[in-house]
Structure 1
Amino acid sequence: MKNITWNDVEILVVGAGTMGASLTQAYAQRGFNVGFIDISEKILKSAFDTINRELEIALQREIFSDSQIQDIKARILATTSYEEACQGKNLKLVLETATEDIEIKKQIFKKLDKLCAPNVVLASNSSSLDINILARETKRPDKVVWMHYFYPPHKNRAAEYAGTDNASPESIKTAARYMKLAKKIATPILSSRKGGAADVIFVSLLLEAARLVDEGFDIPSIEAAGKKAFNMPVGFLGLMDITGIPLGINTMYSFSDSSDPDDPFYKVYGNFFTPPDSYNKIMEEYVKAEDKSSVKWILEQEAKKEAKDFMLVDALKNRFLAVGFMTAAEVVEAGIIKMEEVDKLCQNAFLWEEGPFAIMNKIGIREVMKIVTERMELSHRKGINFPIPKLLISQSQKNEPWYL
């Protein structure tokens, strides 16, 4: 395969961290010429090392042949220069995956808007920030969209996409098309409210795990309860260790941001997503640590222990279910996503055997309402908001299963 130039690059990924590297690999594996950019050669080298390591694993598992891997690698370019990356003649889409800092992202979008051709669509992969803020930093708000991939995107097929308040139908179609060309199961999100659907549900469950630590429950029981609630191989504390300590708490900070009283997200959830002391403490340890990988929720000695009190595990399982049911019903009630899409999204993104609405039907809606109400009362005693959606209350009063 001939060496590509920046004029051949169709997709540009901004940010070469774990998500950016994986996303670059995902599109290169699907035949796209992809460029990626970050602030230092050291970061770019680390990204290439990650991609090479993942491709070597794919070779060993006979997913790709050696010649296919060489072709994938040949389709990837990297640079620290925005001027070089943005001015290729074939560039159609930019995917921003930078750190979850709105000020950093605003500067990136200003730069992209200035340097990219007018037809280029600019997308953010942000899991928690209001993309409308980024669109307002550009002179092309009609071409700014949200394209949210799930880690690791070179393996995980789930994805969400949405327009901003001013995005054109053509730009939204572009987002959907490029997700589908990457063989993603692309879920349309019907509102530009920050967080989409999946992360509202998922981060609420990470938060519940951290709150249980705060309340003094033992880690083996917390992990066993999370696994049992959604039939998962790993509990929510373990998932935070895998995805990275900062990811969950940064999303919680954004979701609980009270600086804008008109923020539609905060109007619903209030202080519900405020990180507990245990998460703030572990984040402080993470920031100070030279070896970030050493900071974990589940230390080696805890990982070897098993839950012993099965009644406690069942009680904690109900707490996870209550939070998952509340947030799943809320994103439907708010018009973020269609009900029939929620279960499929959770199954694809989180590898759950069943989605929250199917689990509710299995448990019975009256029992669902009982455990959700108990969880709300506990929250209120602690001064924490816990919104029970009217949709859930109405379904309980009818005592009927969800129509899926």
Structure 2
Amino acid sequence: MSTEHGFDTLQIHAGTAPDPATGARQVPIYQTTSYVFKDADHAARLFNLEEVGFIYSRLTNPTVQALAARIAALEGGAGAVCCSSGHAAQIMALFPLMGPGLNIVASTRLYGGTITQFSQTIKRFGWSCTFVDFDDLAALEAAVDDNTRAIFCESIANPGGSITDLPAVAAVAQKVGLPLIVDNTLASPYLCRPIEHGATLVVHSATKYLTGNGTVTGGVIADSGKFDWSASGKFPSLSEPEPAYHGLCFHKALGPMAFTFHSIAVGLRDLGMTMNPQGAHYTLMGIETLSLRMARHVENARAVAEWLDADPRVASVSWAGLPASPWHDRVARICPKGAGALFTVALKGGYEACVKVVENLKVFSHVANLGDTRSLVIHSASTTHRQLTPEQQAAAGAGPEVLRLSIGLEDAGDLIADLDQALTAASA
């Protein structure tokens, strides 16, 4: 399907066609581990990447590949790779770029699990991370050194809902000759398309808005296909003969698809972070209504955020759609269809009030997830951001007085009434 079609058409049709064997209109769940080769030459051509096809489902699977193609189309990328979770997508995105002694520069405004992954876990690979406030572009550029291999941020930050100035950050990345990796989970490609703002790679937790109903754990990396991996000599896995794949020069042989094919042929083969076909099927069905859901998410978020912002029991609301937000001017430029549906609210009663609100909410569900059709709440400092220092929690917008709200698709009046009665109970 041509990517010239509109978003609503692509979210239903991209990457899929009627099943050639049966005529089935919905994408079948290809629950198989392996695929029969036509002959020895066919098998060799597949392994040499001379022909596109299916070998083994740890690498590729027709259902999973349909999802990858759909997300690539929605993000405006050259290709995409699906994997087992959003955290897996982050490691998969870095894997072809990194090596022992190398580092990345990342925003301080990130999901707590990502901060832990980058500050602690990647050390076991010999990688490291420097965290910088990406609103300070000079500090961002100064943090880059000869061993830096990527710049990482979120389009809409979890949990505070701040919007990154992607064109400005991309300009820094281009100046220093590095790929910009953007986690677009909270925006989804409906609200923001980072590649149009200069991103090289876009990662998603498909667990969230892409699927939209809390049934799938999955991740995706979409590649713009625009980065010159051979320009600097810093990315030998892509620009030089790859010893892990019989000496193939991926960039020379595959051009714009180099990163995508490396992530499949080497990344998924050796790391094994594979998405299962049933999960891919659920996500494909979820994406069919993505634009409808995101529009309602944003509409409800506005109603709830404005009500909370006017409530005397609330100290502050961090939602970029509010005129007083320091990121409000970025909405029209970066997320023109809305500022997302996840934000934080700081309560005047502090931590104790947060606990009482969480325990008294009835429509909101208290879970460690976001992007569901249901409205969700969590106290980030004691859960998702618990492993961080108080300074890191404050920088991420997850202090002890803060609740994170993920606004769902219920009646906005019911959500406001639920918050009102919980705040009343907390005040009592």
**TM-score normalised by the shorter chain: which range applies?**
0.3 to 0.5
Question: Which of the pair is proportionally richer in helix?
Answer: 1
TM-score normalised by the chain length of structure 1: 0.34
Ranked by relative contact order (alpha carbons within 8 Å, sequence separation 6 or more), the top structure is: 2
Q: What is the TM-score normalised by the length of structure 2?
A: 0.33
Higher strand share: 2
